[in-house]
Chain A
Amino acid sequence: MILFTRRAPRTMKNSSALLSLLLVAAAPTAFAADGKLVIEAGKVVTLTGDVIENGKIVIVDGRITAIGADVDAPWDAEHLDASGLVAYPGFVEAITSGGMDRPNENVAVAPFLDVRDSIDPVNTTFENFLRSGVTTLNIQQGPSCVVGARGHVVKPIGRTVEEMSVKPRSGLVLSASPSRGKSRATQAQALRSTFADLKRYLEGVVAETKAGKDYAKREAMYQGREPDKESAKGRDLQCSAWDVEGMKLVPRWEIDEKQAPLLSLVEGKIPAFIYCSTAMDIRVAIEIAEANGFLHKTTLVVSGDCDRAADLIAERGIPVILTGSLTRSELDEETDEVEDIFLPEVYDEAGVRFALRSNNSTTQSLAYQAARCVAHGMSREDAMRAISVTPAEILGVAKRVGSLGVGMDGNVVLYTDDPFSVKGVVQHVIIEGEVVYDRATDVRVRHLEQGEAPDNTEPTDPEAAVDDEKGDGEDEKED
C-alpha cells in the first residue's frame, strides 16, 4: 500500500476521490472525472498559438475547456496559483523501453505480445519522466527483435497500466538492425519472410474457408437454404501493396493471434516503429514498409550514422525519432581531420521531421536535448516542437497532447523559468487536470540534487516499527 500511495495523485483529498478513481479505472480518460482546475500561470506557452502573459488554463473533467488571459472559470473550480511559473504542454517521449520489466524478448517475431504485461507502474522511471516534465510516453519493446510486441502510449502516473493508458496497442516495433550475433542479410530476410508468411497464412485461411464453404453450401442446399444470401462476416484486405482474394469470407476473429497484429499493420491500422542503427538499415526499412503497404504509418527510430541517409528519408517523407548521441564524429580520410556532426541539424536541413528522446549519458530530460539543438543554431520553436508536437503527431495523439488548446488533455508542466535555462526546473506537473507532481514534496529530487537520503533507506529502530504495527497510537516506552 505504501508503494501505491507514493504514486497516487497528490491532490487527492478524500476517500470518495479514491473510490471514484477506482470505479473509473477501466475508462482511462476519466482519470479526473469530477475535477475542475484553474491554473493561473505567469505565462502560458501553448506552442501552437500565442504566448499568453498572465494566462489561465481551465481544465474540466481532464480536458482543457478554456485558455487565455481573460477567460471565465467555473465557480467551484480549484485554483492553482502559478503566477511565478511558466506553463508548457507536457512533453512527449516518442519511444522508450523505460518502465518495462525487460526491454527485449527472446522470440524474434512476437507481435502477439503486448508491452502492457511488462510495464511496472511503480518503476522509478515514471517518476523521472514526471520530474522532467514528460506527461506522455510511448512504451515499446527494444530493438533486439525482428517484429516486437505491441506498444502502449501511457502517462507516467497511475497504479495500473489501465490507469496509465492513453492509447493501447499503439504500434509495433520492427528492427532493420540485426540483434547480436546475426547478420544484416539474415535480419532483412527475416523481415521479408515475416510478411511472406503472413500472406501465405491468409491465403491458406481463405482456401480452408472456401473448402469448408463448399461443404457448407452443399449442406445448405440439401436443407433448402440459400447460403449466398447470408451476409459475409469478413471484409476485403485493405493493404495498398498486396491483396489476398477472398478475405471477405474470413471473419477477422478467426485470424491467428500471432498474425492479427501484422494484418493490422499491413492494413495501415497501427503505426510501425522501425529501429535502424546504420544508414544501410534505412533502405531495408523502407523496402519492407513499402512492400507491405505501411510506409505511410512508419516512423524510423534512428541511431548511429543513419543521418547519412537523411536525404532518402526526407524524400519519402518519413518522420524519425533520434536515439543515442546527438553528435557523431566523422573522420575525413583525406585530410585526417575529425568533424563533429550534430545530427538534429542534418535531419533538419534535409527536411526530415524528427522527435528527440530524453536520454543522454547524464540526464533524462527532453528539455536538455532540445536546448542542445538551440546551442547548435536551431530556433527555440523548432527545438521545442521536437519534444512536444512532433512526437505527438508521430504517435497519432496530437489532438490530445503535445500542445495546449481547448479540447486537449489537461497536461500542463509548470516551470520555474525557461525550460532551456540552467535555472528552469519543473515545479508542478498536471495530468488530465490532476496535480500529480510537486517538486516541494519530491523526496527523490532532494536526494539527487542535495544528497538527502530517501525515505526508508536510513536505518530505523526495529522496536519503533513493532510499536507502530500495533497501531494503538500509544508510545509504550512511556509506560
Chain B
Amino acid sequence: MITTLALLSLSLPVTADPAPGADRLVVFAERAFTAPGEVVTNAVITINDGKIVSVKRNSSAGSADLKAACVTAGLVDMGFRYSTNQNTVEQSSEITAAARIAPALDLHARVWERALRQGITSVAVFPVDRNVVGGQGAVLKTGGDPTLEARLVREDAFLRGAMGSLPSSGNRPSGSRPTNFYSRRPTTRMGVEWEWRKAFYDAWQEENRGDADRPGRAELLRALSGETPVFIQAWATQDIRTAVFFAEEMAAEGMGTMRLVIDAGAEAWREPNLLVRSNAAVCLPPLPAEGRTTENAFMSLDTAAKLHEAGIPVALSAHAGSGSGNTLAEQAIYARRGGLPFDAALAAVTTVPATLLGVSDRVGTIAAGQDGDLVLWNGDPFEFTTRPVGVVLNGTVLVGGDTDR
C-alpha cells in the first residue's frame, strides 16, 4: 500500500498549500554552492512546480523572491534517528527485515520542523537500536503536507540493523538467567552477530531450496545481493570489525556482495583500511563533548577528515530526530575544524548521504531537474559565524526568507 503511495508521490508534483503564483520561486545568491567543488557566483536559481528548472549566473538580483549571501542544497541527515516514541522498532522477533518504519512516524511531531529550521530537508528514518535487524529504512522530506504521500522520497531505501551491545541490552532478565521462553535473545555481542549470520544464511538457503516464501526473506536477499544497501550500526571498533567480517564472510561464501554502510561508526578512524577493503561507507554520529560516544567508543575531531583521506565515503549526522540538540551544520563545522576540506564537508551533508540513500537524482545538489530544496545562509556555510537563515523545500519557502536577518 505504502509502496503504491510512494510511487504516486514520485509521479505527482509535490506542492504544499500552493498559494496563487507560489508555484514559481526565484532565489538569488551571491554564491551558490551547487555541488561539492562547484560554485556559481551571482546565481539566480529558478524553481517551478517544486523542481529546479535553471541555475544561471546573473549580474544582479533582479526581481528574485529571495536573496541570500550563500545558498546550498537542502541538507540530508541520514542518521536522523526518529524516536519520539518507543514504537519505532519492532521487537517481536530479533530479525524483522520486512518491518517498515513509515507507519510508526508521527508527521505532526515537532521534530520534523526543528530539523527543517536548521536546514535539513531530507532525512533517512529507520527502526532504531533495539533489534538486530530492525527493518526497512525510508527517505522523507522534513516539510510540506504532513502526509506520507507528500513527504516520502523513497520507501525501502535500505535494510537497517545493529551490531554491538545495544540490540541485546535489556534482554537478560535481572537477577536470573535468560532460560525461559519469555526471555528474548540474544543477550551478548556474540548472539547479535549470530543472529545476523543465521538470518542471511537461512534466507539464502531457503531461496536455493525453493522453500515457500516468508515475510522478510526478499528484503534480506535484496540486501545480500547489494540491490539495497545494508546500514549496520557499529559504534566501537570491535563492532565495526564484526560488521565488516560478517559482510566479507557472506561474499566469501558466494552468497552476495553487500553494500555496507557503517552507521554511527564513531571509531571508524582506527582502522580505515578495513573499510576501504570492503568498500564500506560511514555515517558518523554527532561529535560528543570529550570524544566519548555510545558503547564507550571514542570519536576524535579528525574522524571525518581521516576517513575522507582514506577515500571512504563519509556522511555526517546530527541524530536530529532523537532530540539530541545537535545541528547538522555544526557537525560540518566540527569536521572542518578536524581537517575535512570544505567541499568534502558539503558533500558529507548533501551528496554523500543522497547517493548512499539512492536519492541523488532528487536531492543533494542544485541543478535543473532536482527538487527545489535550498538552504540560505547569511555568509559562508559551515562557519561558526554564520547560520542558515532560510529554507526552501520543494520550491516553497518554509523557514525565514527575511533577508535582513
**Chain A interface (Cβ < 8 Å from any Cβ of B):** 325, 329, 338, 340, 361-364, 367-368, 371-372, 374-377, 420-423, 447-451
5 contacting pairs across A/B (C-beta < 8 A): A329-B114, A376-B387, A448-B301, A451-B269, A451-B298
Q: Contact mask B259-290 → A, CB, 8 Å, 1/0? A: 00000000001100000000000000011111
Residues of B within 8 A of A421 (CB): 383-385
A325/B383 in contact, CB under 8 A: no
Given A375-B384, A421-B383, A364–B289 Cβ distance below 8 Å? yes
Given A329-B114, A422-B336, A451-B298, A372–B384 Cβ distance below 8 Å? yes
A448/B300 in contact, CB under 8 A: yes
**Does B158 reach chain A (CB closer than 8 Å)?**
no
Residues of A within 8 A of B114 (CB): 329, 338
State how many angstroms separate the Cβ of B397 from the closest Cβ of chain A.
Answer: 14
Q: B117, B300, B382: which contacts A340 (Cβ < 8 A)?
A: B117
Q: B270, B289, B324, B338: which contacts A363 (Cβ < 8 A)?
A: B289
Closest chain B residue to A374, Cβ basis:
B385
A362/B326 in contact, CB under 8 A: yes
Mostly, the A contact residues are mixed
Supply 12 further A-B pairs (C-beta < 8 A) apart from A362-B287, A447-B291: A329-B114, A338-B110, A338-B113, A340-B117, A361-B325, A362-B326, A375-B386, A422-B336, A422-B384, A449-B300, A450-B300, A451-B303
**Does B209 reach chain A (CB closer than 8 Å)?**
no
**Does B330 reach chain A (CB closer than 8 Å)?**
yes
State how many angstroms separate the Cβ of B68 from the closest Cβ of chain A.
Answer: 14
State how many angstroms separate the Cβ of A450 from the closest Cβ of chain B.
Answer: 5
Residues of B within 8 A of A420 (CB): 384-385
**Does B333 reach chain A (CB closer than 8 Å)?**
yes
State how many angstroms separate the Cβ of A124 from the closest Cβ of chain B.
Answer: 9
**Does B248 reach chain A (CB closer than 8 Å)?**
no
A362/B110 in contact, CB under 8 A: no
Closest chain A residue to B287, Cβ basis:
A362
Closest chain B residue to A371, Cβ basis:
B384
Closest chain A residue to B386, Cβ basis:
A375
Q: B301, B324, B330: which contacts A449 (Cβ < 8 A)?
A: B301
Residues of A within 8 A of B378 (CB): 375, 377
- Kindly state the separation between the CA atoms of A363 and B336 in the bound complex, as whole angstroms: 15
Closest chain B residue to A365, Cβ basis:
B384
**Does B106 reach chain A (CB closer than 8 Å)?**
no
- Kindly state the separation between the CA atoms of A72 and B334 in the bound complex, as whole angstroms: 41
A449/B289 in contact, CB under 8 A: no
Residues of A within 8 A of B384 (CB): 367-368, 371-372, 374-375, 420-422
B325/A422 in contact, CB under 8 A: no
B270/A451 in contact, CB under 8 A: yes
**Does B177 reach chain A (CB closer than 8 Å)?**
no
A451/B326 in contact, CB under 8 A: no
B300/A375 in contact, CB under 8 A: no
B333/A422 in contact, CB under 8 A: yes
B302/A422 in contact, CB under 8 A: no
Q: B110, B291, B330, B385: which contacts A448 (Cβ < 8 A)?
A: B291
- Chain B: residues with Cβ within 8 Å of the partner, total of 35
- Kindly state the separation between the CA atoms of A113 and B269 in the bound complex, as whole angstroms: 47
State how many angstroms separate the Cβ of B265 from the closest Cβ of chain A.
Answer: 13
Residues of A within 8 A of B301 (CB): 448-450
Q: A325, A362, A372, A422: which contacts B289 (Cβ < 8 A)?
A: A362
Per CB-CB distance, the 10 closest pairs between chain A and chain B, nearest first, are A371-B384, A451-B300, A449-B301, A374-B385, A375-B387, A422-B336, A371-B385, A375-B385, A420-B385, A362-B289
- Kindly state the separation between the CA atoms of A363 and B327 in the bound complex, as whole angstroms: 13
A422/B287 in contact, CB under 8 A: no
State how many angstroms separate the Cβ of A80 from the closest Cβ of chain B.
Answer: 25
State how many angstroms separate the Cβ of B316 from the closest Cβ of chain A.
Answer: 13
- Kindly state the separation between the CA atoms of A367 and B385 in the bound complex, as whole angstroms: 10
Given A361-B289, A362-B287, A362-B288, A377–B385 Cβ distance below 8 Å? no
State how many angstroms separate the Cβ of A422 from the closest Cβ of chain B.
Answer: 5
Residues of B within 8 A of A449 (CB): 300-302, 338
**Does B337 reach chain A (CB closer than 8 Å)?**
yes
- Kindly state the separation between the CA atoms of A376 and B384 in the bound complex, as whole angstroms: 10
Residues of A within 8 A of B214 (CB): none
- Kindly state the separation between the CA atoms of A340 and B115 in the bound complex, as whole angstroms: 12
Given A375-B387, A376-B387, A420-B385, A450–B336 Cβ distance below 8 Å? no
For window 121-164 of B, CB contacts with A under 8 Å fall at: none
Closest chain A residue to B345, Cβ basis:
A422
State how many angstroms separate the Cβ of B303 from the closest Cβ of chain A.
Answer: 8
Residues of B within 8 A of A361 (CB): 289, 324-326
Residues of A within 8 A of B302 (CB): 449-451
Given A371-B385, A375-B384, A422-B383, A362–B334 Cβ distance below 8 Å? yes
- Kindly state the separation between the CA atoms of A126 and B385 in the bound complex, as whole angstroms: 26
For window 77-125 of B, CB contacts with A under 8 Å fall at: 110, 113-114, 117
- Kindly state the separation between the CA atoms of A451 and B324 in the bound complex, as whole angstroms: 23
Closest chain B residue to A419, Cβ basis:
B384
Closest chain A residue to B110, Cβ basis:
A338
Residues of A within 8 A of B287 (CB): 362
- Kindly state the separation between the CA atoms of A329 and B117 in the bound complex, as whole angstroms: 11
Residues of B within 8 A of A325 (CB): 325
For window 318-371 of B, CB contacts with A under 8 Å fall at: 324-326, 330, 333-334, 336-338
- Kindly state the separation between the CA atoms of A118 and B208 in the bound complex, as whole angstroms: 69
State how many angstroms separate the Cβ of B33 from the closest Cβ of chain A.
Answer: 16
Closest chain A residue to B338, Cβ basis:
A449
- Kindly state the separation between the CA atoms of A375 and B326 in the bound complex, as whole angstroms: 16
Closest chain B residue to A376, Cβ basis:
B387
Residues of B within 8 A of A376 (CB): 387
State how many angstroms separate the Cβ of B26 from the closest Cβ of chain A.
Answer: 25
State how many angstroms separate the Cβ of B302 from the closest Cβ of chain A.
Answer: 5
State how many angstroms separate the Cβ of B345 from the closest Cβ of chain A.
Answer: 9
Closest chain A residue to B334, Cβ basis:
A362
- Kindly state the separation between the CA atoms of A420 and B385 in the bound complex, as whole angstroms: 7
- Kindly state the separation between the CA atoms of A397 and B110 in the bound complex, as whole angstroms: 45
State how many angstroms separate the Cβ of B264 from the closest Cβ of chain A.
Answer: 16
State how many angstroms separate the Cβ of A236 from the closest Cβ of chain B.
Answer: 51
B300/A447 in contact, CB under 8 A: yes
Residues of A within 8 A of B338 (CB): 449
Residues of B within 8 A of A364 (CB): 289
- Kindly state the separation between the CA atoms of A264 and B396 in the bound complex, as whole angstroms: 61
Closest chain A residue to B117, Cβ basis:
A340
State how many angstroms separate the Cβ of A164 from the closest Cβ of chain B.
Answer: 22
Closest chain A residue to B329, Cβ basis:
A375
- Kindly state the separation between the CA atoms of A361 and B286 in the bound complex, as whole angstroms: 10
Residues of B within 8 A of A368 (CB): 384
B291/A422 in contact, CB under 8 A: no
Residues of A within 8 A of B325 (CB): 325, 361
Residues of A within 8 A of B303 (CB): 451
